[in-house]
């Protein structure tokens, strides 16, 4: 079952919406996020290619019913308040009535993007009891702040779209095939919104630099063992670039009295 879902509407504001995946990248490494979203640089490695394979099924927009729970796949989501857009891998939908599990999806017919809000409004009228975003990730079951923040951002989008509180979601870890529940606490929500605001500021600074025909400043490289697993390791060169700044500081100190 793969109905065609309409695209999210155009925000029409001054700021461009941030992709949900950028939040994960930014909290993993601000420099990586800047290279991807400011410089347009991206390279694949074993981890990114395996991630593509894991998402092959969920990237197909549609729905299915598993053990009485309706699962939306690749559901477009957005937040006008936060300037976000993207897709949820899976959204679990609990209905107040299970007599017609297919009706919510059949309401989302293909058509003009400006009709999507009104279509979603039709689903708010007490028919949905609960929504839970589920994000698929590589690796074994382990808590990562960047994964939790990306999932929380999805929940913030869904709350704005459907007008329903979403207290928790889940991350499914492909290697261990285990599910980890994530509670959207006040602290996690605040950290997520802070990361979104920092991303907007970073991208705004890039736009200002481009208007001035200047090279936008990239966040500094901070070497850590996880850098060697990054697909942009050979482009970022964190050891070398971090060392360059150390040399610059030492050279500048020679002239200080």
9: pLDDT strictly greater than 50: no
Mean pLDDT for 118-139 is 73
Sequence spans of domains, the chain: 18-207, 220-253
Task: Inform me whether the pLDDT recorded for 100 exceeds 60.
Answer: no
Terminal C-alpha separation, the chain: 73
- Check residues 224 and 242 and name the one with the higher pLDDT: 224
Between β-strands 69-79 and 62-66, what pairing exists: parallel, antiparallel or unpaired? Answer: antiparallel
Amino acid 67: pLDDT: 77
If DSSP codes are grouped into helix, strand and coil, which group holds residue 20?
helix
CATH number (3.55.50, 3.90.320, 3.30.70, 3.40.50) of 18-207 reads: 3.90.320
> Higher pLDDT residue, 246 or 27?
27
DSSP code for 53: H
Instruction: Please compute the mean of the pLDDT values over residues 147-151 and round it to a whole number.
Output: 95
pLDDT of 175: 74
- Give the gyration radius of the chain's Cα atoms: 21
Is the pLDDT at 53 greater than 80? The verdict is no
* Alpha carbons 60 and 169: distance in angstroms, whole number: 21
**Any idea which residue has 């029409």 for tokens?**
12
Task: Give the per-residue pLDDT at 94.
Answer: 84
Report percent pLDDT > 70 for the chain. Answer: 64
């Amino acid at each position: 079952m793969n109905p065609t879902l309409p695209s999210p509407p155009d925000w029409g504001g001054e700021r461009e919406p941030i992709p949900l995946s950028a939040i994960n990248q930014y909290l993993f490494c601000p420099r990586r996020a800047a290279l991807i979203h400011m410089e347009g640089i991206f390279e694949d490695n074993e981890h990114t290619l395996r991630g593509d394979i894991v998402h092959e099924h969920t990237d197909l927009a549609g729905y299915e019913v598993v053990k009485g729970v309706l699962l939306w796949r690749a559901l477009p989501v957005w937040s006008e308040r936060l300037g976000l857009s993207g897709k949820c891998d899976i959204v679990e939908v609990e209905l107040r009535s299970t007599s017609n599990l297919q009706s919510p999806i059949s309401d989302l017919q293909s058509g003009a993007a400006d009709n999507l809000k009104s279509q979603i409004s039709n689903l708010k009228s007490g028919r949905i009891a609960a929504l839970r975003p589920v994000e698929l990730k590589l690796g074994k079951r382990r808590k990562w702040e960047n994964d939790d923040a990306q999932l929380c951002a999805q929940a913030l989008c869904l709350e704005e779209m459907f007008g329903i509180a979403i207290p928790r979601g889940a991350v499914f870890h492909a290697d261990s095939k285990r599910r980890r529940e994530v509670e959207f606490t006040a602290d996690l929500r605040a950290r997520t919104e802070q990361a979104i605001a920092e991303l907007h500021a970073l991208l705004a600074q890039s736009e200002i630099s481009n208007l001035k025909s200047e090279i936008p400043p990239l966040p500094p490289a901070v070497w850590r063992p996880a850098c060697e697993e990054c697909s942009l390791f050979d482009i970022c060169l964190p050891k070398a670039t971090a060392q360059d700044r150390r040399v610059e500081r030492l050279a500048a100190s020679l002239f200080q009295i």
